[in-house]
Amino acid sequence: MPTPTQLNHPDISSEMIPEIDGIIAAHYKTNGAVIPVLRLCQDIVGYLPMVLIDYISYGLNLPRSEVLGVVTFYSLFSLIPKGRHTIKACLGTACYVKGIKEVMTRISNEFKLKEGETTSDRRFSLEAVRCLGACGLAPVVVVDQDTHGSVSASQVKSLLEHYE
Ligand code: FES
């Protein structure tokens, strides 16, 4: 495992480094610290780039594989940058029957964005989820905290253009 002495990554500013060091220093003697440390560091950077995983592993004196295992197990953590807005498209049965696949395809084509990815300008991330509990509104797309029901493929562009 590399032993990083410096966090060198375009998404990690020099102001973030003392904060990250402080989090590691506050937790490194605590059992089970890896989840809170990852969560706090992700809150600072926005996601968990690999160099940060190595840094945390080194700081907590844990194998990289163990830290990476936690990151990949919990959907809360992300190894890729998130967009400024998260689009959640429901692939539950009711939404599927009502045409969410066409909506997803239109989002993908319109924004060059596949499921699980983020646009290159980091405007949007796209996630597929299972039943959002609003089946009466199917097909459902949630953007950040906003629930949009009865969405059709032809509405995708106008629906998303408000999210800069
Ligand atoms: S199936 Fe989509 S909200 Fe229930």
Q: Supply φ then ψ for residue 126, to 5 degrees.
A: -120, 125
Question: Is 134's C-beta closer than 6 angstroms to any atom of ligand 1?
Answer: yes
Rounded to the nearest whole angstrom, what is the distance from the C-alpha of residue 4 to the centroid of ligand 1? 45
The answer, yes or no, to whether any atom of ligand 1 lies below 6 A from the CB of 90, is: yes
Distance 56 CA to ligand 1 centre (A): 38
Which domains does the chain carry?
A: 16-73 (no CATH), 85-160 (3.40.30.10)
Contact between residue 156 and residue 110 where contact means Cβ atoms under 8 Å apart: yes
> Which residues, 6+ apart, have CB-to-CB distance to 19 below 8 Å?
44
Average pLDDT over residues 54-83: 93
Q: What is the mean pLDDT of residues 116-124?
A: 92
66-78 tens-digit pLDDT: 999 999 999 889 8
b or e along 58-76 (b: 16 or more beta carbons within 10 Å of the residue's beta carbon)?
Answer: bbbebeeeebbebbeeeee
Q: Tell me the average pLDDT across 113-123.
A: 92
Other residues' Cβ atoms within 10 Å of the Cβ of residue 148: 18
Ligand 1 centroid to Cα of residue 150, in Å, is: 11
| pLDDT, tens only, 28-52 | 988 899 999 999 999 999 899 999 9
For ligand 1, the distance from its centroid to the CA atom of residue 100, given in whole angstroms, is 10
Q: What's the mean per-residue pLDDT of the chain?
A: 92
